[in-house]
Structure 1
Amino acid sequence: MRLRFALAAGLMTMAASVIPSLAADRAIVVLDASGSMWAQIDGVPRITIARQTIKEVLGRLPAGLELGLMAYGHREKGSCQDIETLVPPAAGSAAAISAAVDRINPKGKTPLSAAVKRAAEELRYTEEKATVILVTDGIETCDADPCALANELEKGGVGFTAHVVGFGLTEEEGRKVACLAENTGGMYVQAGDGNALSEALATTVAQASQPAAKPTPAPAPAPEPAAPEYNFAPVVIMAEGEDPLPGNAGNAWEVYRANADGSRGEYVSTDYGNSWKTSLEPGKYVVVARYGEAGTEQPVTIEAGKLTEPLFVLNAGTLIVRPLAIPGGEPVDGAAVNLVYPGGETTTYGQATFITPAGEQKLNVRIGAGEVTETVVVNAGDTVTKDVVVGVGRAVTNAAYVPGMKVEDGGLFLEILKAAKKLDGSRGSVVSAYGPDSAHEVPPGDYVLHARIGETDAETPFSVKVGETTDVEVVLNAGVLAISAPGAHSIEILGAKKDIQGKRKSFSYSYGEEFQTTLPAGDYVVVARQLNDDAGKEAEAKVSAGERTETAVALP
């Protein structure tokens, strides 16, 4: 919890040294309520620490200070307009602010620039002195430039000042928001942990304790050589002797501190593009370059005052896979393309472009039930386009009660089976689906379509040719039997004809007073039973193909 108390000290130092000097001036605390505020420090969510810290600061502020509270990201996810003034600036607002922070539920984005600007406008910064204290645990996520905003507020304001508390920010993230304070004459306090915050306050409190009026600038010292904007500018190429990738190639850079044995240590950052440049602290690093499925890493040493420009060679090539249903056809969007490359495996759909390590690549392409496996060699720096022809036809499957009367019920089950039977007499399943008009890509050959709905099933043979569509329909020779038996506990449907043992075949059984199912055309006996009545009451029913039969059973 040292961070919370240090943060409280930082805020109180700001309030004591800056705000009181403004006497009756007005200020707004802008609180980050984005989803990341649920992250924990020493087991305590950041939002909980912020609530407690703000309450502690409020208890020590001058009673006459006109202080308000604004929050962003607390009402909806993904919105850059989720900014709300929870408590307008007013004297004696401590109790209202305390209650407001307790109601905040972090969940959204981080529109910190828009929030600071809105706070400045509510404080009438172009007419009166105004102070904004921003508490944020993240950087801008809504396509705004905090530094440009700071310059705008500084130029247009009568006496505008922004103070920023970077709550849990890294050093690099802190640099992206510190300009809000630096460009308006305010303070930036980085609260990475309790010790770091204490050190930061040691250097900023003295300046913050000075009167709020901005001093007259001292004569500029003699110009010194400008510090370089960056000291690390890596470049990646596909193969030896090739040109660098374009700046917008989308390649990734991962930076790690190096362990004593040269292996990857603490993670530092991830960035993108072949035009990426940055400044790293002097020391030893391991840098990983990735592009598509290819990657390479090497040690990098950063020395003070020197520019390091390492070259990364991916030793990779480009493989373009075009999955085709038939020779000369167009790539199939839904085709599954699986690539096993040196060092890994990946799957995508439709025409695919892979950046892959040089070497032998194994391709498996599936279109519907059709599947082909091929091998291709990609050399470093080469681009290989590979057409993979799966060779399938299309089967559109349906079922009909009688010829010309298609089953439209979604409970219809259709399954394509291989025509050749196994040794045990069964057939292998190729593909299945529910509902009418089921379309499937299958390899050429002989098949059987099996259809089932209710208590009826039937099958029919068919064949498929490459590149052709085959319409297949199974005729069920069936109808629908609807039974009503008020007061019944269960309903059973039996065949009308008894076997040699005098027993009837049971076709279906259901609980309740009503039952409907599909049955092969023929004669049946319906038995409706009440609870604890095994005998029940019988009624005869005749089902005709393509027709609906309704039967009522009257129970005592």
Structure 2
Amino acid sequence: MLLPIRSLLTGLFALLLFATPLLAAEKAIIILDGSGSMWAQIEGKARIEIARETLNKVLAGVPDELELGFMSYGHREKGSCGDIELLVPPGAGTGAAISKAAAGITPKGKTPISAAVKLAAEELKYTEDKATVILITDGLETCEADPCALASTLESHGVDFTTHVVGFGLTDEEGKQVACLAENTGGKYIAAGDETALTEALKTTVAEVAAPAAPEPAPEPTPAAAEFNLVPQVVIAEGDTTIAPDADIVWEIHKANADGSQGEYVATEYGPNYKGKLEPGAYLVRSSIGYAHVEMPVTIEAGKVAEPYFVLNAGQLTIRPLPSPGVDPDSNAAVFTEFPNGESTTSYGETRIWVPAGETKVQVTIGSGVANQAIAVKAGELLTRDIVVGVGVAAVNAFYVEGMKVEDSNLFEEILEAKKDIQGKRKSLTYNYGPDHNFELPPGDYVLVSTVGGATLETPFSIVAGERTEVSAILGAGVVAITAPGTDKVEVFGAKADIQGNRKSFSYGFGGALQTTLTAGDYVVVASPAEGEPRETSISVVAGERLEVTVE
């Protein structure tokens, strides 16, 4: 049912008149809807234009000492729930700045009402001081949030927090979805049932409030916020009496099905001091800290307060992954943890997590080194454990000759175990490309295989835990640059054939040119044109030197 113009004007006048004297005694923020729907017109004029004119008239009569701020949402990006901006911080004498900011708003995006009200409350330090938010919106929440739940949270945590809501053209059912923002905080909700009523109400009422007038009678006290009917208690371990107020407690609330199983999702809340108001019925409430959880059925009865008691049976485990004893934790170490409840996670570097009481399995990997431990954690325990992987570092480089480092990015360095299996093969552990690599390895014997172009060298070395070993592969090689005009493929073979008469291929390229690295020695270059007979040229490569060859 639409409100008559006279009733609507009276209601809006009461709201804004109530809000204005209150604001003079404390800080407040006006939130103006900047979503795309604000371009909708009312008798030929866009809603955003009407809102700007209204603000100008209000601000013209605002006392200089009034500390007022201004915020908007949906005015910069389309489709973004994070498009919220505090355009004018709360302060005295901000009227002109707010008018200018409102004039610059271009409606575009979504309607993140809950996030905007929460941000405004935090800006006003609502947990420390009295705070008021006035929301002017022509739409409903579009960012998957619950304004009603938010209002209850702000009311319970605030010193004296109030939200007033002015709704643009919402139905009665739609209005209920935002009205609770005001009702749950002791504020006022005024709905304009049609465009004409909205226009006249905002223009007339705001103008009357802004103009000098005799003081109006004090408004009736706002009704107290509804009492909570869910007041859970949570402890880390049985017998604990306190829990840190900033503990990362998460509450997940679902309705319970008839068979007691988890049903429809209701809400997710945070903090050890959470209190809620739920409709009467059966619920499943899960309390978590880190990877420790406990779930309980909770029944909400009309007129009664449910006070379930949750014991998380959790402990805090800190893992310090060390390459060797007495050094700092390795920030690149991979820490894999598997908890008694079957859940698992991977993190990196020093790791601090809440875990269920019992045995947590931990695997730490640093380079090619791996260490495993099973750690028993008691409920309420804060346990720190150093896990020493025990690796050393192989600092690897290849050289054409002593003192002439290979800087080629195509250099391939591979680390193999020194021991061969029954088939005569070595296990590959790790590899990388280019010069200057550090490989973290457990103590033991290894072989470095360095390959660049057609030159390959195996270099054995050993690793000691906690020590750095310089591994230099002296290839005894040179670089050959071959040009073969008029050919498609250039290939380099060993000069000496094997017992079958075959020569080993060391390197090849296409397009009539090839540059490669070869171990010092004699070779044969075969240049093959698309048609016709290949051309051969014998070459000798000298270690540490460059050889340029043209095959005619």
Q: How does 1:520-539 map to 2 (within 5 A)?
A: 520-533=519-532, 535-539=533-537
Aligned partners of 1:455 and 1:184: how far apart in 2?
78
Q: Structure 1: where are the runs of 5+ without partners? A: 1-8, 22-27, 34-49, 71-79, 87-103, 150-154
Aligned to 1:517: 516
Work out whether 1:187 is the aligned partner of 2:161: no
Q: How does 1:427-506 map to 2 (within 5 A)?
A: 427-506=426-505
Work out whether 1:110 is the aligned partner of 2:110: no
Aligned partners of 1:339 and 1:201: how far apart in 2?
44
Aligned to 1:274: 272
Identity over aligned pairs, percent: 38
Match of 2:259 among 247, 251, 261: 261
* Partner amino acid, structure 1, of 2:395: V
Check whether the contact 1:286–1:300 (CA below 8 A) recurs between aligned residues. Answer: yes
How many residue pairs align between the two structures? 470
Work out whether 1:166 is the aligned partner of 2:154: no
1:326 deviates by 2.3
* Partner amino acid, structure 2, of 1:173: P
TM-score (norm 1): 0.71
Deviations 1:331-377 (A, max 9, x none): 22222222211111122222222211111222212221111222221
1:126 deviates by 13
Aligned partners of 1:206 and 1:275: how far apart in 2?
39
Aligned to 1:550: 548
Aligned to 2:419: 420
Aligned partners of 2:101 and 2:493: how far apart in 1?
89
Deviations 1:189-223 (A, max 9, x none): 668xxx943988999456984852449978866x6
Aligned to 1:145: 120
Aligned to 1:391: 390
Aligned to 2:312: 314
Aligned partners of 1:251 and 1:414: how far apart in 2?
48
Aligned to 2:366: 367
Q: Equivalent residue of 2:504, what SS?
A: strand
Check whether the contact 1:256–1:267 (CA below 8 A) recurs between aligned residues. Answer: yes
Check whether the contact 1:29–1:133 (CA below 8 A) recurs between aligned residues. Answer: no
Work out whether 1:240 is the aligned partner of 2:238: yes
Q: Structure 2 vs 1, CA of residues 447 and 29 (structure 1 numbering), >3 Å: closer, same or farther?
A: closer
Match of 1:32 among 30, 35, 43: 35
Moved more, 474-483 or 309-318: 309-318
Deviations 1:391-437 (A, max 9, x none): 22211112111122221212111122111111111111222222222
* Partner amino acid, structure 1, of 2:167: M
Q: Equivalent residue of 1:145, what SS?
A: helix
Aligned partners of 1:550 and 1:81: how far apart in 2?
72
Q: Structure 2 vs 1, CA of residues 290 and 436 (structure 1 numbering), >3 Å: closer, same or farther?
A: same
Aligned partners of 2:135 and 2:411: how far apart in 1?
71
Deviations 1:41-89 (A, max 9, x none): xxxxxxxxx6xxx88x54xx4347796499xxxxxxxxx9998989xxx
Match of 2:338 among 337, 340, 348: 340
Match of 1:197 among 159, 171, 174: 174
Aligned partners of 2:240 and 2:135: how far apart in 1?
52
1:164 deviates by 3.3
1:172 deviates by 2.9
Check whether the contact 1:163–1:186 (CA below 8 A) recurs between aligned residues. Answer: yes
Aligned partners of 2:260 and 2:216: how far apart in 1?
48
Check whether the contact 2:75–2:83 (CA below 8 A) recurs between aligned residues. Answer: no
Check whether the contact 1:83–1:115 (CA below 8 A) recurs between aligned residues. Answer: no
* Partner amino acid, structure 1, of 2:400: Y
TM-score (norm 2): 0.71
* Partner amino acid, structure 2, of 1:504: R
Q: Equivalent residue of 1:197, what SS?
A: helix
Aligned to 2:21: none
Q: Structure 2 vs 1, CA of residues 365 and 501 (structure 1 numbering), >3 Å: closer, same or farther?
A: closer
1:500 deviates by 4.6
Aligned CA-pair RMSD: 4.6
Aligned partners of 1:532 and 1:449: how far apart in 2?
42
